[in-house]
Amino acid sequence: MKTILDEIVSQKRIEILEKQKTQSIESFRNSENFLLPVKSAKASILDKSKSGIIAEFKRKSPSKGFINKDENVKEVVSGYEKYGASLVSVLTDEQFFGGSFDDLQQAKEILNIPVLRKDFIVDEFQVYETKAIGADLILLIAECLTKDEVYHLAKTAKEIGLEVLLELHSEDQLEKVNEFIDLIGINNRNLKNFEVDIEKSKQILKQLPTDLIKVAESGISDPKTVKELRQAGFQGFLIGENFMKAENPSQAFEQFVKESK
């Protein structure tokens, strides 16, 4: 049975073919952002003056529809940084998540912390594109890539200066971790039944290389959960909908950070 992830990846491949008619890796290499140094996500998460939270700007999800369609990206992300976010994650998928390159670039214009491009990367074309639009960090989702694809895409990202966050969902994806990965994200949500299982994440955590930054992802809505995950050994926490569904995402983030210390 075709999953939503399969559907998204199929759409990505169609979008890439369409973009390749007017853009090329060479055009990305010649773009203004390509030569700019990236800000280190690893350093920012390890900075004790920050919260360790990767706060997300997300307008929509495939399962829930629009969460916060018209929020001003600069207002939201400046609040995230002000109240201690280590990174900001910006959705750039348009069809399923209502995101855009414009959202990411607006965020990048005003932030002093790293920006993660949150999307579904399946081709090296997108890796170069990620650098060209100004992101500091790229997300690779193990669930939709083979071991060889993860290796190639991560190696390409590192060669052009991007840091790499690899997202795992299960123990059988541990073999996809390689020397080009900077951060490992463990998604607490089971993609088959969408249940959140923090205990499962803790088990996977114990099997990860000690030198990698560990990030807990998805289903985090209670500051107590951050405390529990931090105690287990996670250093970063990617949180999206919890803030974006609030009337004022920045205020919601500020309160959450206070309660998670």
pLDDT exceeds cutoff 90 at 62: no
Identify the pLDDT of residue 189. 80
pLDDT exceeds cutoff 90 at 177: yes
pLDDT exceeds cutoff 80 at 17: yes
- The beta-strand segments (E) located in the chain are 53-57, 60-61, 65-66, 87-91, 115-118, 137-141, 163-168, 183-187, 213-217, 236-239
Q: Which residues are catalytic?
A: 56, 58, 118, 167, 187, 217-218
Identify the pLDDT of residue 240. 84
Instruction: Provide the pLDDT confidence category of residue 143 given band limits of 50, 70 and 90.
Output: very high
127 Cβ contact partners less than 8 Å away, ≥ 6 residues apart: 121, 138, 153, 156, 157, 160, 162
Instruction: Provide the pLDDT confidence category of residue 91 given band limits of 50, 70 and 90.
Output: very high
Residue recorded with tokens 């080009």: 180
Helix, strand, or coil here: 97? coil
Identify the pLDDT of residue 63. 82
Structure-token pair, residue 216 = 């807990």
Identify the pLDDT of residue 200. 85
For residue 37, the 8-state DSSP code is P
* Distance of alpha carbon 38 from the chain centroid: 15
Number of other residues whose CB lies within 10 A of the CB of residue 2: 7
Q: How far apart are CA 247 and CA 48, in angstroms?
A: 29
Instruction: Provide the pLDDT confidence category of residue 36 given band limits of 50, 70 and 90.
Output: very high
Identify the pLDDT of residue 193. 64
Identify the pLDDT of residue 3. 87
Summary mean pLDDT of the chain = 95
Q: Break the chain down into helix, strand, coil percent, rounded to 5.
A: 45, 15, 40
Least confident span in 49-53, 75-79, 91-95, 190-194: 190-194
Instruction: Provide the pLDDT confidence category of residue 46 given band limits of 50, 70 and 90.
Output: very high
Using a 10 angstrom Cβ sphere, with 0-12 exposed, 13-18 middle and 19 or more buried, the burial of residue 61 is middle
pLDDT exceeds cutoff 70 at 192: no
**Total residue count of the chain as it appears in this document:** 261
Identify the pLDDT of residue 212. 94
The two counts, helices (H) then strands (E), for the chain are: 11, 10
Q: How far apart are CA 259 and CA 46, in angstroms?
A: 20
Identify the pLDDT of residue 191. 62
Using a 10 angstrom Cβ sphere, with 0-12 exposed, 13-18 middle and 19 or more buried, the burial of residue 193 is exposed
